[in-house]
A and B are shown apart, each in its own frame.
Chain A
Amino acid sequence: MFAQLQSLWKALWNRSQMESELDDEMRFHVESRAQDLLGSGLSREEAHRRARIEFGSMVSCEEKVRETRRVTWLEDLAQDLRYGWRVLRKNPGFATVAVLTLALGIGANTAIFSVVYAVLLKPLPYTNPEQLFTAFQANAQQGIAETGCSYLNFEEWRAQNHVFSELAGILAHQLTLTGRGEPSVVNTSVVTPELFALLDVKPVAGRIFFPQDGKQGAPSVVLVSEDLWRGRFGADPRIIGTSIDLDKRPFTVIGIIPTAFRTPFFNTKQEVWIPLVQDPLFSTFMPQRGVHLLPALGRLKPGVSVAQAQAEMDAISGRLAGEFPAENKGWSVRLVPLQKEIVGDVKTALLVLLGAVGLVLLIACVNIANLLLTRATSRSREIAVRITLGAGRTRIVRQLLSEAAVLGLFGGVAGIGLAYWGVEVLSSLLPRNLPLVNVIRVDNVVLGFALLLSAVASVVFGLAPALLAANSDLLTSLREGDIRSGESGNRRRARSFLAAGEIALAMVLLVTAGLLLRSFSKLMSVSLGFNVQRIVKADVSLPRFQYSTPQQWTSFSGELLARIQAQPGLQDSAVAVPRPIIDRQVNLRFEIVGNPPFSAGASRTADYVSISPDYFRVMGIPLIAGRFFNQHDVMSAPRVSVISQAMARLYFPNQDALGKRLTFGFPPSGAAEREIVGIVGDVRDVALGQAPGPMMYVPYAQAPFWGANLIVKSTMSPSSVAGAIRQEVRMIDKDLPVTDVALMPGIIEASIAQPRLGTSLLSLFAAMALVLAAIGIFGVISYSVSQRTREIGIRMALGAQRENVLKQVLEEGARLAAIGLAAGLAGSFAATRLITRLLFGVKPTDPLTFAAVAVILIGVTLAASYIPARKATRVDPIVALRYE
């Protein structure tokens, strides 16, 4: 062992010394032999000659000694890497291009992977996250795939199941925090007390919720986040046991939750947590079994399978449907792994991005493979000589591979540098609604991925050239002049194949990017059905304990609206709950009076909006028939409703909807009959990409909500609008915060931030692919022209026209393009099927996109071939022939 190490040491650091020692040794041998031969009567020259012949080839002997000295793969590797480094240093241009290309590819891949890893792959930051499942209610007949459960059902689930070690319900909204500084709105999670024990959360100070905190009549308690504690409360250690005001009602602080804790389902940082029973809004729904509101989270008992759990929940659902058919008939339970629920539909987009960026790296590898292949051709003599001198073919392959590895190493290191930067840029660009529980960063796993990628890439671009080089025909390579007159057909075919492959890969990316671009522009140009320009929104949150009656809500919003409309420039103001795109939509079931009631479980629903009379005018939603609401539609007047065109078409086909009556509404007016007095234009209220559905509007005065969600159409800047509103609100109640003032165009923009980022990134990758493919084609054609200089010279000497030569070279490019496009077409058809879900208004086989991409690729190929083709036509026959 020691001898080996010593020998390794010698081999690594004293290689040249060892070689000169061996030289001395062999010379001593030959000279001693010559001396002995001299003694037997030969002449001096003859003796030396004989001695040398007897010894045989010293070079070959040296190579064999070197073989025996091969200590481990490590020494070889070090030697090969040193050699690779030397070779690359001799070709700085080639090395720079290759390393840069690789760095871009690896950097982009690593950056995207860091997002994919954080969102899709990394385990959620909870204890045993694989045991966590969400339990939703679903109703196939009503087409409801996922919604919460009622609190009463939740209690039955908890009591009856044997598969979950714990179940907890979670909701979130905002409450107003007052006292100790400015009034502010805090993100509030409303939970059943089991949540923190279920997720194994350790408080920074104090305690978490205990079961008794969830009982009716328990003292109101609150947990605050570490951030809120450090920020608003100055990290006051005595905060535990003191009380804070939420919506003007005192809550006792019992614990501080660490910053690192993320509340499942909700992306925004939650600031306070209160028991469901204490919530001013949601607690009112607790006794109602028909209100499907509460999403539940459960932890499976160890050893219980999902199928077992599902079967148990199905049985419980069945029992509940039998016991309470009015509320539970048709409803089932759906268990979804928490991770899957959090990730949602971002998965497709992320995987498409990862695939795309992977293709870019593949193209980069193909490019480098081509460059290496070109160099291997010019080095084929060197390689042939080495093989003749006794180097094994595997040795040669390894050596060429290690050159690739050196490239890969440098590319990888530079790429990781780029990735750090890329992750930073990406994090700042990521849409805020991306479901993130983990933090995106370059951690060990991501670093490992980058290194693995570099290694795989090195093999991908290094192996083909190395194998081809080691298998080249020795004799042909050694024959003088052969290097210049051409290269083996194998290698030429390999290079053309690679270049055509690049075109094919680029085509897949360009088609994907093209389709996404087209669907994005369709999305942007979609008609929303309402005004966007100059619309400002602002929220006034009313403390629910203080403003607890509908009368108070109506009078507050009436007074506020009157005050705001009295301000110059703010005449066009309205209140609406919920507002399109801005707020979460409310879907309510309804019945048509006079029609037989929809059977249980087959009810119809429509989006429900409560508005002040001026809403339609401010938003520019057109009146189709009947009338808008007016000042007389108040609580004491007959109930009225305005429906959307889509609703009229869907439920009153071929009849006049005006004068018909609907029953719908929130408790306690759930059974109120409302006469349809008007029909208005359709509005995309949920998302830009979602077709308008049936909608029903009611006058705010007849269906008040707490708080005031304002819509103002004004030429003033958002900040002056906000200032004016704030001033008026303060005149009414100095403790009310005005929050979330924003311009409508910005809100629309934010709502499509995800497809925008995805489309931009994919377009960037497609552009990179196009540039790389162009470089690749340029390289192949240029090399082919330089190889055929002599042939072209002869042809021109024999009278070939320049146009013919130009045509011939361009034809070579066109042939590559044709093969590449054919392969790319097949690849694109396969790839675009995967992105159907990301498309809007465009078919995955959109002929326009395919045609445009084909034209671009042919154009780029011909342009890339044109430069070397021009060079070919300038070949001087005399110079070319003398080249020999």
Chain B
Amino acid sequence: MAEQAQLLPGTLDLLILKAASLGALHGYGILLRIEQITRGALLAEQGALYPALSRLEHQGLLSSEWGISDNNRRAKFYRLTTSGRRRLREETQSWNRLVTAIGAALGAKPQEG
């Protein structure tokens, strides 16, 4: 298992949106998907997941619906809405800009002369 890192504040929402963009998932499924797509490098606190889901649904970025899970149980499935998809795109771009900028900043070497 790779080394684990704490989530930056605000990144959980982004990861949830990304996970849900790959298909409808129930809460636990989203947790597993995040673990999978981060290759276990980032660990979401399980209890923090549901307030985040609730918030995103409330903001209209996710929609939910009750269905039947793989193990034949009733579960609540979350799906990305159109505005959720747009938000994911925007957040991804701004994240990338940030990473590039921070990376460049941290990669800077002292000027010789």
Contacts and interface: CB of A to CB of B under 8 A. Distances in A.
A71 B26 contact: no
Contacts of A57: 47
A284 to B, nearest CB: 86
Given A21-B76, A33-B28, A71 B58 contact: yes
A65 B54 CA distance: 6
B51 interface: yes
Contact of A55 (B47, B51, B75): B47
Nearest to A11: B58
B74 interface: yes
Given A32-B28, A56-B46, A3 B59 contact: yes
A234 B56 CA distance: 76
Contact of A61 (B28, B50, B69, B71): B50
A31 B73 CA distance: 10
Interface of A: 2-4, 7, 21-22, 24-26, 28-29, 31-33, 35, 54-58, 60-61, 64-65, 67-69, 71
B76 A69 contact: no
B27 A25 contact: yes
A3 to B, nearest CB: 3
A25 B50 contact: yes
Given A25-B75, A25-B76, A68 B51 contact: yes
B58 A4 contact: yes
Nearest to B83: A3
B60 interface: yes
Interface in B47-101: 47-52, 54-55, 57-60, 69, 71, 73-76
Contacts of B50: 22, 25-26, 29, 61, 64-65
Interface of B: 26-28, 31, 45-52, 54-55, 57-60, 69, 71, 73-76
A4 B60 contact: yes
Given A3-B60, A71-B58, A28 B75 contact: yes
A4 B58 CA distance: 6
Contacts of B69: 28, 32
Given A28-B28, A28-B74, A32-B71, A69 B54 contact: yes
7 contacts: A21-B76, A22-B54, A29-B27, A32-B28, A56-B46, A61-B51, A65-B54
A498 to B, nearest CB: 40
Interface of B is mostly: helix
A65 B51 contact: yes
A395 to B, nearest CB: 15
Nearest to B66: A21
Nearest to B30: A29
A55 B69 CA distance: 20
Given A3-B59, A28-B75, A58-B47, 18 more contacts: A3-B57, A22-B54, A24-B74, A25-B26, A25-B75, A28-B76, A29-B28, A29-B50, A31-B73, A32-B69, A56-B45, A56-B47, A61-B50, A61-B51, A67-B51, A68-B58, A69-B58, A71-B58
Contacts of B57: 3, 7
A51 B58 CA distance: 27
A3 B58 contact: yes
Contacts of A67: 51
Contacts of A7: 57-58
B9 to A, nearest CB: 15
A84 B12 CA distance: 36
Contacts of B27: 25, 28-29
Nearest to A21: B76
Q: Which of A32, A55, A65 has the most CB of B within 10 A?
A: A32
A67 B47 CA distance: 14
B71 A35 contact: yes
A678 B51 CA distance: 102
A717 to B, nearest CB: 83
Given A28-B73, A56-B45, A68 B54 contact: yes
A711 to B, nearest CB: 86
A26 B50 CA distance: 8
Contacts of B58: 3-4, 7, 68-69, 71
A64 B45 CA distance: 14
A16 B61 CA distance: 24
5 nearest A-B pairs in the assembled complex, by CB-CB distance:
A3-B60, A56-B47, A64-B51, A68-B55, A68-B54
A29 B109 CA distance: 48
A7 B54 CA distance: 10
Contacts of A55: 46-47
B28 A54 contact: no
Contacts of A56: 45-47
A33 B76 CA distance: 15
Nearest to A26: B50
Nearest to A29: B28
B112 to A, nearest CB: 51
Which of B27, B45, B47, B69 has the most chain A CB atoms inside 10 A of its CB? Answer: B47
A58 B75 CA distance: 17
A29 B46 contact: yes
B95 to A, nearest CB: 22
B26 A28 contact: yes
B97 to A, nearest CB: 28
Nearest to A31: B73
Contacts of A24: 74, 76
Contacts of A33: 28, 46
Contacts of A54: 46
A170 to B, nearest CB: 69
Contacts of B31: 29
Contacts of B45: 56
